[in-house]
Each structure stands twice: as C-alpha cells, then as structure tokens.
Amino acid sequence: MKSDLKSILEGVRDGSITVSEAALRLKEKPYEDIDFAKVDLHRRIRQGTAEVIYGAGKTGEQICGIMDTMIRNGQSNILITRLSEESLKTVSEIYELCYDKDARIATYGDYPKPDGIGRIVIASGGTSDIPVAKEAEITARFLGNDVITMYDVGVAGLHRLLDRLDDIMSATVIIAIAGMEGALASVIGGLADCPVIAVPTSVGYGASFEGLSALLSMLNSCASGVTVVNIDNGFGAGYAADMINHVGQNP
C-alpha cells in the first residue's frame, strides 16, 4: 500500500498537487488531542499504514471518539483489534462495522485491492489456533495483501502440511501459528524459501504455561529465517507480514 508521503511527492512530480498544497499537508498537525487519546494523524505518512485502534481496555465511547477524529481527518478505513462485544454494541450504534467474533477484530470501510509484491500464507497448527490466525488474516487483508490460509496443518499429522507444499512455495512470507510445543514454525521454516513469522498461542495443557513453551520453542528454532512475535499476537504477525510483502513500495 503506497504511503501518503509517496503519493504527495508523486503528486508534486506529475503536477496534480502544487508545492504549496504539499507543504500544507505535511505541516498539518501530526496528532489531535481529544483528552483521553492523542490520535496519530501522520502514522500513514511515516509508516505507510494509518493508526490501528487497540480496543481492549477502551470503552465504546472512547473508540467512537477516536474513530470520529480519524474520519474527520480523512481516514476512511479503520482497523480495531481486541474489540469486546460490549464495546461493539456501542460503536455499532454509530458506525457500521464488520466484526469477527472469533478474532475479536472489527473493520470500518472497504478492504483495499491487494497490491503487495506477492502472497502471504497463514498456517495454523490446530483448529484451536484459528482465532489468532483470523486476527492475522484480517489484518493482512485489510492492509492490502493477497492471503491464503491453511488451518489445522500441525505436526501431529505432517501429511496435512505436506499436501500444501505448492502454497508454501508460492509465499512471499509465511505466518506459522501454533500452541502446544510450537513445532510448526520450525517445520515450515525448513521447507520455505521466504521469511517465516512464528506466532505462539496460549493453546495447550498445563506444561505449555499459556503459550510460554511454544514461545521458547519458536525462539530456539533451528530453522533459519524464523522470527517470533508475542503470544497470541496475530495482529503483530499480520502487520509485519504486510511490511515484508510491501518492501520497496514505501519510501
């Protein structure tokens, strides 16, 4: 997804934006203080992607206030992660959202047309890992990526993963999501020729320590090219995968 900064500079180059207009847009205040939040209005200019709302711990009224500020300042697509159903009810009275109950993630506005350099493949070890996988998937799609999902392809039945080798080999970046012992990331890392982002989940019995075992296994992976995000952090994985899949497109 092309950043606002690049769009402004290209507009000056082709004459669709004057130098004065470009300077004004860059001078506009970088954030707006609405008492309980300071909404970052220059996030897209700096990073290529606008600010995302982390819904956990925020009331529905606070989320509405943040969304109102974003929309007034030209942000037509908004992603809200970890949104509770209670807050969803409040926000939905004002804004039309698309909400995934499993992933607890909501979107406002249309998904952009995929414009990445390739494809993101998301693999989950078991069905219980799907909520985290969906968070990663929706994040990646909402940021403008072509995404393929492979659910329930864990190492307990390795043939299920090997049946999807063509998809694995077609990826620009792979997100491997697993709880228990977290071995899926190492197996995929040993098969793929692209970066692998490992996501440990809190799925597992007592000795899994709510995802700590999977986290440590993934951090200790012997497969090269495997990096790890925090436990259950599907959003972080989807965001990082988006950055990889748009390398060279943002200044």
Looking at the fold, whether 99 and 150 belong to one and the same domain comes out as: no
Give how many domains the chain has, as a whole number: 2
Looking at the fold, whether 87 and 131 belong to one and the same domain comes out as: no
Number of residues that make up the chain: 251
Mean pLDDT of the chain: 90
Looking at the fold, whether 93 and 163 belong to one and the same domain comes out as: no
Tokens of 199: 């996501």
pLDDT at position 1 is 44
Of the three residues 79, 108, 137, the one that is the final residue of a domain is: 108
DSSP characters over 65-82: HHHHHHHHTT---EEEES
pLDDT at position 103 is 95
Tokens of 118: 């390739």
Looking up residue 145, the CATH number of its domain turns out to be 3.40.50.1970
| Mean local confidence (pLDDT), 108-119 | 93
| Mean local confidence (pLDDT), 1-24 | 72
Tokens of 161: 């993963």
Looking at the fold, whether 231 and 180 belong to one and the same domain comes out as: yes
- Residue 119 parent element (H or E): strand 119-124
Instruction: Yes or no: say if 191 and 174 are a contact pair by the CB < 8 Å rule.
Output: no
Looking at the fold, whether 181 and 136 belong to one and the same domain comes out as: yes
Share of the chain above pLDDT 90, in %: 73
In a domain? residue 250 = no
Of the three residues 82, 108, 134, the one that is the final residue of a domain is: 108
pLDDT at position 250 is 55
Of the three residues 108, 143, 159, the one that is the final residue of a domain is: 108
Share of the chain above pLDDT 70, in %: 93
Looking at the fold, whether 101 and 145 belong to one and the same domain comes out as: no
Q: Which domain holds residue 156?
A: 119-245
Please write the tens of the pLDDT for every residue from 123-141.
999 999 999 999 999 999 9
Looking at the fold, whether 49 and 150 belong to one and the same domain comes out as: no
Looking at the fold, whether 241 and 139 belong to one and the same domain comes out as: yes
Please write the tens of the pLDDT for every residue from 60-103.
999 999 999 999 888 889 999 999 999 999 999 999 999 999 99
Q: Which residues pair with 173 in a beta bridge?
A: 120
Please write the tens of the pLDDT for every residue from 160-215.
999 999 999 999 999 999 999 999 999 999 999 999 999 999 999 999 999 999 99
Phi, psi of 92 (to 5 degrees): -70, -15
Q: Indicate the pairing of strand 38-40 with strand 226-228.
A: unpaired
What's the pLDDT band for 233 if we cut at 50, 70, 90? very high
The closest of 230, 140, 134, 30 to 150, measured between CA atoms, is 134
What pTM, to 2 d.p., does this model score?
Answer: 0.86
In a domain? residue 4 = no
In a domain? residue 62 = yes
State the CB neighbour count (10 A cutoff) for residue 215.
Answer: 23
Please write the tens of the pLDDT for every residue from 19-62.
777 766 665 667 777 888 888 887 776 777 888 999 999 999 99
